[in-house]
Structure 1
């Protein structure tokens, strides 16, 4: 891809992510996205992404790929302890592998916008269609969710297992979306030219009676992992 085209595409991605997060991916105006990307032609979205939905898929894919390094690091850390990540691994550990990297993206402005977009579409996505979606293909996230489905299905059956995973994912998305909205509200009150640091966001969240990031992630992991693993024997 020529450099100029690559730069334009990146600007459209950044602008699209911001407008989709703030205004909704179905209602944000293409004209505004293009204008904020400093482009003069409204057809730029179609040229680079094919459609509004194509832009959405590109944004989601980038958000998922941004978590891959952390996912690999956590798998490697278990391997160093002699623990193999497969469907025989206990549900609590598998669910932690799914949860922690996606919760950790809330440390970053781009991640907050990503979660706000996921929150718009996640509750309406069935597990099977999500696993088959192109934005998930060839990712560690897909592998981990599939292992989680298989692990639970071994204990309670495939249909009840998928239903439990569906509820787990809805709860995870809802919790992270609420957190993302709280962070976005804090950022909107910032009158400085510079964005708040992650530490400053933590301080302001704490002042408003909410947990700091690390505490929040631990609570999400603990609560959702326990709920998902309820009634399922541990393999450890």
Structure 2
């Protein structure tokens, strides 16, 4: 791809991330994305990404790609029976996105689409297909199947992902632009430093996945719920 075309693509990608994050993946207007990228023709998105959906998937894949080296490095050390270790490997790279403005936009987009991931149906979303995070999630499922029925394991993992995405998106509005150091929050309260926040998040998610479970009362269980 020529240098100018690559630069245009990157500007569209960044503008898409910014407006999807700020206005919503369904509400952000294509013309505003194009204008923010400094382009004069709405067809620029079609040319570079195939469609608006293609742009959204490219925004998500860009974030996944930023985390890929850390996730690949962690994979060989993961023990399929170590629930906390797997949760930490899933959480730490994406929590690192809090440290940059681009990463925070990505997290706000992820929070909007996390419910569409298809975890309960064993679907692998396109932006993570063939990546280290997909392998980490497969290990997480394998671990959970050691102490949970299959349907409940998938349900808990889906809820974990939704909770993780929501917690990180909430955090994006509370941290500074450049770092996640301890500081006074917007209302004067204390904001946990980045490392403390991540450790506590890992502990909460691990505890939620490992919580005792009970069979549903007769007549209340619904197939496919």
The TM-score by the shorter chain falls in which range? 0.7 to 0.9
- Residue 18 (structure 1) aligns with: 18
Q: Deviations over 1:63-117 (max 9, x none)?
A: 01111122233345x3xxxxxx353x32121111111111121111111100100
Out of 128, 133, 144, the position equivalent to 1:152 is 144
Q: Deviations over 1:101-134 (max 9, x none)?
A: 1112111111110010011111343315674221
Query: In the TM superposition, what is the alpha-carbon distance from 1:230 to its structure 2 partner?
Result: 3.0
Q: TM-score scaled to structure 2, two decimals?
A: 0.86
Gapped runs of 5+ residues in structure 1?
79-84, 187-195
Q: Deviations over 1:155-182 (max 9, x none)?
A: 2221111011111111111111111133
8 Å Cα contact 1:15/1:33 also seen in 2: yes
Q: Which has the higher contact order (CA 8 A, sep 6+)?
A: 1
Q: 1:128 to 1:49 in 2, by over 3 A?
A: farther
8 Å Cα contact 1:104/1:217 also seen in 2: no
- Residue 104 (structure 1) aligns with: 96
The alignment yields a C-alpha RMSD, in angstroms, of: 2.1
Q: How does 1:41-190 map to 2 (within 5 A)?
A: 41-75=41-75, 78=77, 85=78, 87=80, 89-128=81-120, 131-183=123-175
* Runs of 4+ off more than 6 Å: none
Matched length: 212
Q: TM-score scaled to structure 1, two decimals?
A: 0.82
Q: Deviations over 1:191-215 (max 9, x none)?
A: xxxxx4215x643549542211111
8 Å Cα contact 1:123/1:170 also seen in 2: yes
